[in-house]
């Protein structure tokens, strides 16, 4: 079997796995990716830091999920230890803004590692702990690589 065929089979496996996920787990994966993408693209210069968390969370999510992510995101940023000064901050928006700034200044493998970890942890929060780290890592990797595939229904 060629290497190309082998990787295509792996991709097909994860596509099948993703399609078979419970709707709430699909949504959790989508949440992790959406938040991470919003952080990568956030314009701190024009977006400001006041209520940054709300700006990172899409309006179409239900209130319970938005509140959960609002509460957990600053703690996740501190736990990832992106910047030492988040340890002394108490305002959630300031914590997230500081972490976003740091993430946006990283490059290469460091940036990828932090963003992947962030996406996995946010997905776990959104899934109420129903995704373990390894499963979330594999599924999120597949989702990132295939998020424009028509077979993915993120409106769950």
3-state secondary structure 7-74: HHHHHHHHHHHHHHCCHHHHHHHHHHHHHHHHHHHCCHHHHCCCCHHHHHCCCCCCHHHHHHHHHHHH
Q: How far is CA 144 from the centre of its chain?
A: 10
108: left (phi over 0), alpha (psi -120 to 50) or beta: left
Degrees, nearest 5: CA angle 147-25-136: 70
User: How high does pLDDT run on average in the chain?
Assistant: 77
What CA–CA distance (Å, rounded) separates 31 from 57? 9
Residue 12, pLDDT above cutoff 80:
no
Question: What are the helix and strand counts (H, E) for the chain?
Answer: 8, 0
pLDDT digits (tens, 9 = 90+) for 99-144: 888 888 888 888 888 888 888 888 888 888 888 888 888 788 777 7
- What is the 8-class DSSP label of residue 80? T
**pTM for this entry:** 0.70
Segment 62-75 mean pLDDT: 84
21 band by pLDDT with thresholds 50, 70 and 90: low
């Amino acid at each position: 079997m060629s290497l190309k065929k082998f990787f295509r089979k792996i991709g097909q496996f994860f596509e099948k796995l993703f399609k078979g996920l419970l709707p709430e787990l699909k949504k959790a994966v989508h949440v992790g990716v959406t938040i991470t993408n919003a952080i990568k693209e956030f314009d701190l210069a024009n977006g400001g830091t006041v209520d940054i968390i709300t700006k990172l969370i899409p309006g179409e999510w239900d209130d319970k999920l938005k509140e959960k992510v609002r509460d957990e995101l600053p703690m996740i940023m501190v736990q990832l230890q992106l910047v030492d000064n988040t340890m002394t901050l108490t305002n959630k928006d300031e914590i997230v803004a500081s972490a976003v700034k740091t993430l946006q200044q990283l490059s290469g493998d460091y940036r990828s590692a932090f963003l992947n970890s962030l996406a996995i942890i946010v997905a776990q929060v959104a899934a109420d702990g129903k995704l373990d780290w390894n499963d979330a890592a594999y599924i999120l990797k597949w989702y990132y690589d295939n998020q424009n595939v028509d077979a993915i229904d993120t409106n769950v």
